[in-house]
Amino acid sequence: MVEKKVSKIPEVKFDPKKATAEQIAKGLELLGKTETRKKRVEAGEIKGYASWSEMKPEQKAKALEYSKKLRIRQQLILRKATAAGISVSDKEVEAAMK
């Protein structure tokens, strides 16, 4: 397995004494959204997946590997379907979207 090197963005430190009212309001809004999401996860309303920035390197590698396998599988299916003369009409695509 090949691991990609991801550049790490340094954490930004913010001085609360220099914050504008607008920045404080935006921060509180984001905090409220975060807390609401946590409560919904705890209540089982939604699944609580980690965001990319919260993932450990092993989890990121696993997610990237899964994504790559899925993409390759789709490409292989497409090649086999094309070779077999299988095509999909626009009507079929529209029906599958409903």
pLDDT in tens, 29-77: 999 999 998 898 888 888 777 788 888 899 899 999 999 999 999 999 9
Number of residues written out for the chain: 98
User: What percent of the chain is modeled with pLDDT above 70?
Assistant: 93
pLDDT at 7 over 70: no
pTM value is 0.45
Q: What is the DSSP letter of 6?
A: -
The tokens describing 49, both together, are 């997946």
pLDDT at 6 over 80: no
Domain boundaries, the chain: 18-48, 54-98
Average pLDDT for residues 79-83, to the nearest whole number? 92
pLDDT at position 44 is 83
The tokens describing 23, both together, are 């920045």
Provide the b/e sequence for 37-75 (b: ≥16 CB within 10 Å). eeeeeeeeeeeeeeeeeeeeeeebeeeeeeeeeeeeeee
pLDDT at position 5 is 59
pLDDT at position 98 is 85
pLDDT band of residue 12 (cuts 50, 70, 90) is confident
